[in-house]
Amino acid sequence: MFAEYTASELTAIFAMQGFAGLILFSVLVLMALGLAIIFGQMGVINMAHGEFMILGAYVTYLTSNLFSEYMPSLFDGYFFVAMAMAFLVTFLLGMLVEWGLIRHLYKRPLDTLLATWGLSLILQQIYRSVFGAREVGVTLPDWMMGSYPLTDMVEVPINGIFVMVLTLVISIGIYFLMFRSRWGKQVRAVVQNRPMAGAVGINTEKVDRLTFGIGCGIAGIAGSAFTMIGSTGPTSGQLYIVDTFLVVVFGGAQSLLGTIASAFTISQAQSTMEFFLSGSMAKVLTLLFVVGILMLRPQGLFALKIRR
């Protein structure tokens, strides 16, 4: 299929395709990180993850309206405010949900799945009642749209770079939070041995609530960022849920590094296949590939080798 193209065209295309894969990679990481924290560290299956993302998107939408209404001069920078707001709102909702729902269910992980599914239905209907059934259009500042031409052929989408940088920042942030902070140490202690952690004076309930809140908050940031590339509607969140869970499970649930590695594998596999095959088949093959590997290696790519 490449016979009719010149070498420079091919290089350009491979560069761009590689870049597309990287963007997809960032998107998947961003989607999955919040879930990886909640699912991997707490064992809670949060089926409402997608709805938390969409909440972030709606917050972004509201912030953008607010800015264009009252502070049009600052519109260029609203997105950063929006992301902070999105984090805050989803973080608080996450804590509330943990308090009202999740904390009763730590012993029954499969039941968290059902309860959060119920939560996701309720959230969807709330969005529909508040924002209407139609999708809302989030206006982005001009500088975020468009692309930066690297060469004649190769153009780099600015929002892609934005997502990549954001992912990098958040990943590093989480790394420090989990592995270099007191809170992270507590989370890991609680994950490894709850009664013992409690016995040495860690307030496990507080740690749980914060962990869940932060996981949801990251989902909110992801949702905010996805207004650049996707749609914002009451049911948009459901589009992400399967992919997100697969990324986390494929990576090995308790390993954040695993999540990143699996996002990389899946994104590269998918974007390569999308280039050579038609879109639907690429999707099917990617999913099959992931499920196949999971059957051979059920613990995922990275498993913590701990005796329990």
Partner 1 sequence: MMKKAPPKATRDDSQASRRGLLKMLAALPASLMLASQISWAAPATSEVNTSGLAVTDDTVTVGILHSITGTMAISETGSVQAEKLAIEQINATGGVLGRQIEYIQEDGASDWPTFAEKSKKLLVNDKVAAVFGCWTSASRKAVLPVFEQYNGMLYYPTFYEGLEQSPNVIYTGQEATQQIIAGIDWVVKEKGAKSFYLLGSDYIWPRTSNKIARKHIEKLGLKVVGEEYYPLGHTQFNSVINKIKLRKPDVIYAIVVGGSNVAFYKQLKAAGIDLTKEKPLLLTISVTEDEILGIGGENIDGAYAAMKYFQSLDNPNNEAFVKAFKERWGDDIVIGDVTQAAYLGPWLWKAAVEKAGSFDIDKVRAASPGIELTTAPEGYVRIHENHHLWSKTRVGLAQPDGQYKVVYESEDLIEPNPFPEGYQ
Partner 2 sequence: MNHKQITYFPRKDLIGFAILAAVLMLVLPMALDVFRLNLVGKYLTYAFVAIGLVLCWGYGGILSLGQGVFFGLGGYCMAMFLKLESSDPESTKIQSTPGIPDFMDWNQITELPWWWEPFYSLPFTLFAVVAVPVLFAFIISVAMFKRRVGGVYFAIITQAIAAILTILIIGQQGYTGGVNGITDLRTLLGWDIRTDEAKTILYFVCCLLLLASLATAQIIRRNKVGRILVAMRDQEDRVRFSGYDVSNFKIFVFCMAAAFSAIGGAMFTLQVGFMSPSFVGIVPSIEMVIYCAVGGRLSLLGAVYGSLLVNWAKTSLSESFPELWLFGLGALFIGVVLAFPNGIAGLFQRYVEPYMPAWYHGRVAAKASEKGNSTTSGDNVTPDTSEEVPTGSDKQPATLKGGHYVNAE
**Chain residues in the site for partner 2 (CB under 8 A):** 39, 43, 45, 47, 101, 104-115, 117-122, 124-125, 128-129, 191, 238, 241-242, 245-246, 249, 253, 280-281, 283-284, 287-288, 290-291, 294-296, 298-299, 303-308
Work out what residue 275 binds among partner 1, partner 2, none; the CB cut-off runs from 5 to 8 Å by kind. Answer: partner 1
The 10 Å Cβ neighbour count of residue 187 is: 24
Q: Which residue has the tokens 């309930």?
A: 205
Among 74, 122, 126, 133, binds partner 1 (CB under 8 A): 133
Does position 17 interact with partner 1 (CB under 8 A)? The reply is yes
Is residue 241 a contact residue for partner 1 (CB under 8 A)? no
Q: Is 165 in the site for partner 1 (CB under 8 A)?
A: no
Site for partner 1 (CB under 8 A): how many residues?
Answer: 54
> By CB under 8 A, is residue 289 in contact with partner 1?
no
Residue 130 burial (CB count, 10 A): 9
Query: What angle, 0 to 180 degrees and rounded to 10, lies between the N-to-C axes of helices 279-296 and 256-276?
Result: 140
Does the protein bind partner 1 through residue 157 (CB under 8 A)? yes
Q: Select 133 or 168, whichever has its Cβ closest to partner 1.
A: 133
Rule CB under 8 A: is residue 139 a binding residue for partner 1?
Answer: yes
Q: Min. distance of Cβ 50 from partner 2 in angstroms?
A: 11
Chain residues that interact with partner 1, rule: CB under 8 A: 5, 9, 13, 16-17, 19-20, 23-24, 27, 125, 128-129, 132-140, 145-147, 149, 153, 155, 157-160, 226, 228-236, 238-240, 270-271, 274-275, 278-280, 282-283
